Amino acid sequence: MTDTPSALGEIAAMRIQAAEHRARITSNSPAAVDWLIRYFSAWWQAEPVCAGAHEDVTVRVDALVDQGCYEHISATVDGLAHTTVTYARQPLRVARQNGALLAHGEGLAYRVGAEGHITIAVADPGLAEHAASAAGRLAREALRGALARDGWVLLHASAAVQDGRAILAFGGKGSGKTSTVLQLGRAYRWAALANDRLFARSGTNGAVELLPWPAAAAIGLGLLDAGGWYDAVAVAAASGELHSSTSKTALAALRAGARTPPHDGEREAKAQLYPDQFTSLLGLPLATTARAAALVFPAIDLNAAPTIHPGGRELHDDDTFAAATEDRYHNVFALRQPESTAARTAIFDRLHRLPRYTLTLSANLADNTPVLGGVHHTVVEDPRPG
């Protein structure tokens, strides 16, 4: 992502909307705004807006390529009493001044004001995508906090949708949540609503309403190969079209045509796809809303035949993101509001009333198809509203 010298300095703006809440991001890098619209519009509403227009929003974010702003925030942090925390697996220096939180690290400087205005600055035009990614991440966190106040709960699950009815796949890392969604899409034309995370809220008539969590999707090379998607993703890797969070190890493997899953230490190195690449590279449609209709609890067992058993475990806090820290991005900027125990309990209670299935899946997608077909037909033919 680059701006021409003449374009840099032009002010561009965009709006993101999730349920009833909106965020506005403004930048002096039009390419940064274009990147953000692409990232969010597949699953949330995202569109360009007039940079000078005023509107009521939940949070305002400025993503700036501005050396002076970057150096001012960084120097201020260094001159104050500060702490160093780990954020995105990198050190981040953090301080407070007059009610605002200031921070810098990895070439980014942040100011998060109590009034709901966030500034993110980089010094180098080559880091404009870095600023865009950070702006999108903090806007998404602020919207998450607003949704939590409205009773939405962020679940650790993936989801596939057909005719507005969703199958939710629960489990820890490597359990097969993403694989379940991709295989339902491949075999039965279900749409992808979410990869790894989604919002849920109690709706009318006992329903559970769902919203996606826009994010890049990590997909292993073995699954890409088994699903027939490897070649398309390898072409995208060769032309630099995958999400920038794709590790160098995964990129090297894709560019070399290696199909054995590579690793960075103990962690499998996976391709990171933009949300819209579910469609452009994998050929799967996307869904933006749904109601929960069934739960599945998959497990990948390379040495077992695929099976399906009615029933499944009960949900618990590990199926949400209730912990104080999660994955790479800790709640350093205090934008993430805690979800209420009552909201989580209400969601669990409603989800427990839905059909549940425990699945064993193998690496052979053709063998898995009849097992997933059992869930597909049950949900499609079930007359109960989702």
Question: Taking 80 as the threshold, does the pLDDT of residue 122 lie above it?
Answer: yes
The residue extents of the domains of the chain are 12-149, 153-216+274-381, 226-270
Q: What is the mean pLDDT of residues 278-305?
A: 96
Instruction: Give tens-digit pLDDT for 153-211.
Output: 999 999 999 999 999 999 998 899 999 999 999 999 999 999 999 999 999 888 999 99
Q: What is the mean pLDDT of residues 120-139?
A: 96
Query: b/e for 117-136, b at 16 or more Cβ within 10 A?
Result: ebbbbbbebebbbbbbbbbb
pLDDT of residue 209: 98
pLDDT band at 125 (very low <50, low <70, confident <90, very high): very high
Question: Taking 80 as the threshold, does the pLDDT of residue 325 lie above it?
Answer: no
Question: Taking 80 as the threshold, does the pLDDT of residue 339 lie above it?
Answer: yes
Q: What is the mean pLDDT of residues 228-253?
A: 97
Question: Taking 70 as the threshold, does the pLDDT of residue 355 lie above it?
Answer: yes
What is the SS3 assignment for 219?
A: strand
The mean predicted confidence, pLDDT, of the chain is 93
Identify the sign of the CA torsion 374, 174, 240, 287.
positive
| Other beta carbons less than 10 A from residue 231's beta carbon | 13
In this prediction, what percent of the chain has a pLDDT beyond 90? 85
What angle separates helix 177-188 from helix 365-381, to the nearest 10 degrees?
Answer: 80
Q: What is the mean pLDDT of residues 55-77?
A: 96
Q: Could you confirm whether domain 153-216+274-381 is CATH 3.40.50?
A: yes
Tokens of 228: 């027939």
**Would you say 110 and 97 are in contact if contact means Cβ atoms under 8 Å apart?**
no
pLDDT band at 89 (very low <50, low <70, confident <90, very high): confident
Residue 187 burial (10 A CB sphere; 0-12, 13-18, 19+): middle
pLDDT of residue 338: 80
Beta-ladder partners of 307:
360
In residues, how long is the chain?
386
User: Whole-angstrom distance between the N-terminal and C-terminal Cα of the chain?
Assistant: 41
The closest alpha carbon to 369, from 230, 192, 190, 168, belongs to: 190
3-state SS, 326-361, equals CCCCCCCCCCCCCCCHHHHHHHHHHHCCCCEEEEEE
